[in-house]
Structure 1
Amino acid sequence: MNNRFIRLLFAFIVIFIGVILVLQNLEVIDMDMNGIWPYAYSTLFIIFGLKWFIDDLRNRGGSWIFGSFLFVFGSLLLIGELGFIRFNFDDIFKLWPLLIVYIGFSIIGKPKRKKNFKFVIDTDDKKETYRDTMKKHGNRFSVGDHQFTEPNWKVEPMNLHNAAGDYYIDFSKAYIPEKETPISINSWAGDIQILMPENVACRIEATVKAGEVNIMGQTSEGINRTLYYESEDYQDATRKLTINLKLKAGSVRVDKV
């Protein structure tokens, strides 16, 4: 959360309390501070909850889980103080079913914004900069299977998104240029199968929210599984593939041929 926002909020609260106390001492107003406090901390929970939630949506830190929980909790406290429902601070344990809701959303995951990564690729006459928003290999979310199995198909930087469907990529049949080529696949549901030739250096990171990952014989299955693989010659190789795979539900398998 933004430190400036916290300081300003705290400053306004102190100023507000000070003004209320001065007016009460001058008998301008007659107010019970014990009666104000429940409204004050309920409102604080709502404000902080919204701030955390919005910051997370805008990729500026924060947490949508804690933000939404504080917002719901603060709102219920405020509604309870107003007399519409019976809810007080001790009733926080009644909100435990929200944990089940959060677990479900964490498995699905939230859509991520497009990142502005740059890939610098050397050519004979100049350096060309490719961004991961290029349209050559379809960055739009789609439904269906994708296969890269044509003889001598040319490998280029890819940033592939799929709502549901399978990927089958055979790099042993591809023309792989003498440079580092980034490959990114992000899918909600489906299977990803990749065949990697022995003589091509690669670095692979695969994450599955629910399912199985198998990379060059390394296996892991269950919830929130990640495997990382880097070939021995990756750092020194001029021709290499940098592959990032993210899957909500399904399986990832990468084999050498």
Structure 2
Amino acid sequence: MNNRFIRLLIASIIIVIGLLLILQNLAVIDLDMNGIWPYTYAILFIIFGLKWFIDNLRNNGGSWIFGSFLFLFGFLLVLGEIGLVDFSFNDIVKLWPLLIIYIGFTIIGKPKRKKNYKFVVDTDEKKDNTVGKKNKHGNRFSIGDHQFAEPNWKVEPMDLFNAAGDYYIDFSKAFIPEKEIPIMINSWAGDIQILMPENVACCIDASVKAGEINVMGQTSEGINRKVYYETDDYQEATRKLMITLKLKAGSVRVDKV
């Protein structure tokens, strides 16, 4: 366990204790100093659970089973202490149905494609412009914003997965080869904004579980919304983009420039 995680752990505990004391001063919860300990070990369970779960996603050890269990257990303990649910440490036996769920996932097994995923936390927007070149070799599991807007960046097949973050893609600045190029973007939460030049044929299949879609003026918002758009010359064109956008929560916007 590296020093950075230890510092994060200590900082998280201090922050949580401070928040609890604020809630006590506002009379939201009734808390004495001896009552802080249940919150402390519950938060520790949550932090360690997230650590193990994320490490497993990054293929860096950890365990998604124990990680998710500790996270859920700690979260329920916090809700129990606040009084939102009837749950205490001794109620851990009530979580036995999780064993059935874990057995089910174990039978399914991990998909082979997982080997190609990389877990990336983006902190430098300039690095995002190289993502398109890397994705022809595999998929990416990432958190953060991505921009494709450098002059003359080359468009290649993409299959991107983003847990949380925004996409900004400007095809008007790109070099687009004379062929059909598939673009797949799948995201849990965030916004997708695309600028499409008028002289490039495209078909766009956009869907959101919760949010809004605006594709070339065609709009739809709410729950489980879909919009399909295809240029008139798509079938005959030699240079064209086949774009599929899937978003759990957020917005999709595609405009001509």
**TM-score by structure 1 length?**
0.48
Report the structure number with the largest CA radius of gyration: 1
Higher helix share: 2
TM-score (norm. length: structure 2)? 0.48
